Amino acid sequence: MSAKKKERIIYLLDCESFYASVEKAHQPQFKHLPLIVCGDPARRNGIVLAACPIAKSYGISTADRLWEALNKCPDVIVVRPRMQLYITVSMQITEILETYTDLVEPYSIDEVFIDVTNSIHLFKMTPEELAADIQKTVLLSTGVRIRAGLSNCKIMAKLATDLVAKKNKSGIFTLTKERLPEAIWPHPVEKMWGVGSRMKRNLNRIGIRTIGDLANTPLPRLAKWGVNGKILWRVANGLDESEVTTSSHVHQKAIGNGLTLPIDFVEAADIEICLLEISSWVTRRCRSKKLMASVVSVSCVGADWDRPTGFSRQQRLPDPTHSTDDIYAAVKKLFHKHWDGQPVRRLGVSVSDLSDDSVYQITLFDNQEQKRKLDAVMDSIKDKFGETAILRASSFTSAGQSLDRDRKIGGHFK
């Protein structure tokens, strides 16, 4: 007779108001004041990235525009983001969590899954006591408060964190199958992971308004949304067999970069400069991972904030490549095929259907070997001296964004 399988103990740990908490830990003079971390208004990304609990008490929320936040609380402290600091603290928290278990899976810069099933016995604590111990250790080490959702699978742990632990006093909540109907199902369906504004409208249209409504909907009724409908139904019912793993980001399916422009671009030549720069960033990442792409995608968002327009299109390439010239040629052609000539606010380039770059197609009319050598030389110079050590001349024009980007991480100042 086989031994009964041990029930998993999984946490989703979320850092409360992460960027704001880090800033308060490093600037204690603001400890008891309302504080927000906000992008750079001069470059049109003056959006609230994080608001401390005091600022939230004034009604300020993430994604508010700066002027909206100031209207709600004129005395709020506005801090420009320091992304390198946040990354450093995030890595510090990960290192702390690795003292509790070797199964630590970052979900985002401020969320982490951990599985303590096989290590909790070492601490002689209940799962809730261990969560409280993690809270205390992280707070003392970094000044950041952790909220913890506990369950036997990842999706239940995330539901526990997002819908209960973030709101209760202890910041800790254990979600079991038996507690799903009372703790999770009464919440509006849009509060559930995976449901955006469009899906909310679709679900509401067929009478699904709460997570419980979704959980109790016969699966065939959701067939119109295919796999996505089935996934949402499984989330609502807390069904998830995926494991916490340290290799979740190893097998990359796509590589892409986006860029919000400092002003609305209307001239094709200026837009092409930005597309070339984004293409070079994407292909450099491909080469660093020794991957080639067979599909290229281009996205464009129009200049109207309230009524976004634009497109997202993709096409298959003749052969897999990570050549900047080849990818840019496809990007440029795809953009002009679908652009309506209206002002552009944001551009994006991504590549997918990735394959190993050790084998590639040689053609009679295109010197792939020469392109590879040129890209390799460019990459080696940047590796040694920095991203802006060598740039195309177009990057030094008024439309170029590479020099400004080099001062930032994730679109925000380091």
Binding-site residues from annotation: 14, 110
Binding-site residues for Mg(2+), in ranges, read 14, 110
User: Which amino acid, residue 153?
Assistant: C
CA distance 23 to 46: 17
Phi, psi at residue 263, to the nearest 5°?
-140, 165
* CA-to-CA dists, residue 91 to 95, 106, 130, angstroms: 6, 10, 20
Displacement of CA 214 from its chain's centroid (Å): 26
CA distance 371 to 232: 45
* CA-to-CA dists, residue 161 to 18, 119, 143, angstroms: 15, 21, 20
Tell me the helices (H) and strands (E) count for the chain, helix number first: 14, 14
CA distance 92 to 76: 28
129 catalytic? Reply is: no
| Partners of residue 314 on adjacent β-strands | 297
Q: Six-digit token pair at 114?
A: 């951990």
Q: Could you tell me if 50 and 57 are in contact, meaning their C-beta atoms sit under 8 angstroms apart?
A: no
Please state, as a whole number, how many other Cβ atoms lie within 10 Å of the Cβ of residue 305: 10
Q: Which listed residue (23, 105, 111, 272) is catalytic?
A: 111
Q: Could you tell me if 233 and 359 are in contact, meaning their C-beta atoms sit under 8 angstroms apart?
A: no
Phi, psi at residue 97, to the nearest 5°?
-65, -30
Active site residues: 111
